[in-house]
Amino acid sequence: MKKHIVVVDDDTVFGEILCAGLQKNAFTTKRFDTVDAFLKSLSSLNDSPVDLFIIDFHLDKTDINGLDLCRRIKSKGSYPVIMLTGEDDVETTVACLYAGAEQYVTKPHVLDELVARIHVVLKGWARAAVSHLEVKDSEDKLTLTLHGRSRILSYAERETKLTQREVSLAESLIGSMGIEMEREHIYFAIFGRAMEPFSRAVDILVARLRKKLKLVTDDYIIIPTRNSGYMLVKK
């Protein structure tokens, strides 16, 4: 079955070209060129299955941008989002990550690159949907558990919700418990491409996951390693 992608971009010509390109790559699409039209559709989001959203950072309203729409989508359920941005700076990257976007693509983009990133996101989403990772303590009493389908990290009776990127990071760290993970390897596992020079994306995600991990347990911590990587260890 073809994957269905919703595109939100106030540039009508660009949106039409993008959707045509996606359709040639075996996706079905629905396009919105105004924020109001898209917001009206959110109320019936569960009635028509959507596999992925592509949202432009700058839209036709001054009080709502793509980050706001990303947050609203995430509040409606478990959906992957790719942000399109005209900026290539740290501030924009950080904003996209904190809004919960799985990927961000800088305009003007190459269609082949965007399609490749879509496949990476969908593949990771499908993998996370069935993943279930556990780390048991030495006495085999308490278990740190990552539930990929629900994006829940739990320990004993405590649990917290993760974003999809945090799930990917947690998968890497829990799956390599006690083993150093280099930042470049973590970046590739999350974003599906080589790490960009001076990127702080991994550090930002680690900081976020640390805070959420602390909500469920103080027994496990994420520590920096000698080779500028990270490792999950038990205190």
pLDDT band at 120 (very low <50, low <70, confident <90, very high): confident
Same domain? For 187 and 121 the reply is no
Res. 131: pLDDT tops 90:
no
pLDDT tens-digit readout, 175-227: 788 888 888 888 887 877 778 888 888 999 999 999 999 999 998 999 998 87
* CATH number of the domain to which 69 belongs: 3.40.50.2300
pLDDT value at position 179? Answer: 86
Of the candidates 184, 159, 173, 164, the one whose C-alpha atom is nearest the C-alpha of residue 206 is: 173
Same domain? For 151 and 181 the reply is yes
pLDDT tens-digit readout, 24-43: 999 999 999 989 999 988 87
Asked which of 20-29, 114-123, 143-152, 156-165 is least confident by mean pLDDT, the reply is 143-152
Same domain? For 24 and 121 the reply is yes
Of the candidates 39, 41, 70, the one whose C-alpha atom is nearest the C-alpha of residue 54 is: 70
pLDDT value at position 197? Answer: 83
Res. 94: pLDDT tops 60:
yes
Tokens of 90: 């740290």
Same domain? For 23 and 88 the reply is yes
Residues 6+ apart with CB under 8 A from 6: 29, 30, 31, 32, 38, 50, 52, 53, 54
Same domain? For 123 and 20 the reply is yes
The structure's pTM equals 0.64
Same domain? For 12 and 74 the reply is yes
Mean local confidence (pLDDT), 40-68: 84
Same domain? For 123 and 137 the reply is no
Same domain? For 67 and 166 the reply is no
Q: Let me know: does 20 contact 28? Beta carbons within 8 Å.
A: no
Res. 18: pLDDT tops 80:
yes
SS3 content of the chain, % helix, strand, coil (to 5): 45, 25, 35
Domain coverage including residue 46: 4-127
Same domain? For 105 and 138 the reply is no
Total number of residues shown for the chain: 235
pLDDT band at 141 (very low <50, low <70, confident <90, very high): low
- 134 vs 99, which has greater pLDDT? 99
Of the candidates 100, 106, 108, 67, the one whose C-alpha atom is nearest the C-alpha of residue 84 is: 106
pLDDT value at position 133? Answer: 64
Residue at 73: amino acid letter: I
